[in-house]
Amino acid sequence: MKVIRAKSAGFCWGVERAIQIAREEAQGGERRVYTDGPLIHNKQMMDALGKEDIQEVGDYQSTQNLDLEESTEKESVVVVRAHGISPQRREYLKGLGLPFRDGTCPDVGIIAGKVKSHAERGYDVVIFGDPKHPEVMGLLGYANGRGHVVQNSEDLAKLPRFSGSVAMVSQSTMFTHEFKKLTAQLSESYPDLVVFDTICGATKERQSDLVELVQEGAEAIVVIGGKHSANTRKLAKLAASHDRPTFHVETAQDLDSAQLKPFSIVGVTAGASTPEFIIRSVCDRLESL
C-alpha cells in the first residue's frame, strides 16, 4: 500500500510550546507538574508525559475544584494547558498556593485579547465554536457577559437583537469556509460587524493539506488523533466531505486491515495534538498491508 502523508500532520507550535513548558517545569521528574485538564487532547502523549510526573488533574473543561497538596517529596507546580482558561479560572488556580506557569497557546491568547478589549468597549462578541470546548469556555470568561457562542445558522437566528456594536471571532480550530459563511450572514443584520479571522494558521494548513491528499489520488484517508481533539474531528469530517472513506484512529492498533486492504493509495493526516511516534507507527502499519 502506498501512503501519502500530509505535510502539516502532527504537533502545531502551540502544542509543542505547552509540552516544552510542562517539561521545563518538571525538570526530568524532579518536580511534579499538575495540568488543569489534559495538557493536549491525546491520551497516549499524556501517558508518556506522566512518566515525567506531569499529571492531569481536574476535568476536560477545567470546571472542577482541585484538591492539590504540596508534595512532601518534591516541589509541585500548576501549568495551564494550550487551550487556555478564563480569567476567573486563572485567579482560582493562582490561589491554590503553588507555583503557576501559563502554557496557553499564544494564538488563543490573541483571541482572548480581542474578546476582552471589544467587550470592555461595549461590543457584543459572537464566538464561532463549540460551547462545550474548553477554549470557547475560556474565551467566554473574557466577554464580561457579552459573549454569544454559535455553531451554525440556526444558532445565529436565535441570537438576541443587539442594540450596539458587534464583533465576531472564531475558536482557533474551526472550518474557514463555515466561519466566512456565518460572518456573511451576521453582517446582513449588522453591516458594521467587526470580524476577526482567528482560525489559527496550523488549522488552515491542515485543512488545505488534506485537500491536497485527495488531489494527489488518495483513495481513502486515515486521520490520526484523540477522539476528544476538536481539530482532529474536523479533519475527519472534512475528509469525509470529499467522498473518501475516512478512518479516525488514535493509534496503529485501531487500524482495521480488512477495511483498508482494498485501497492501493491511502492519505494520512494527523491532528495538532498527535505525536510523531504515533504517526510513524500508523504509516508503518499501513505500508505493511
Please state, in angstroms and rounded to a whole number, the distance separating the CA atoms of residues 248 and 198. 26
Catalytic residue selected from 25, 56, 135, 250: 135
76 neighbors 36 (Cβ within 8 angstroms): no
Residue of 173, 158, 167, 215 whose CA lies nearest to 190 = 167
Q: Which amino acid is at 283?
A: C
* 67 class by beta-carbon count within 10 Å (0-12 exposed, 13-18 middle, 19+ buried): exposed
- Closest by CA to 262, choosing from 235, 237, 286, 238, is 286
Q: Phi first, then psi: what are they for 11, rounded to 5°? A: -50, 135
Active-site residue, 135 included: yes
Strand partners, 125: 147, 167
Which residue matches cell numbers 450572514? 185
Q: Which residues of 251-274 are buried (b: 16+ CB within 10 A; e: fewer)?
A: ebeebeeeebeebeebbbbbbbbb
Q: Could you give the residue numbers annotated as active site?
A: 135
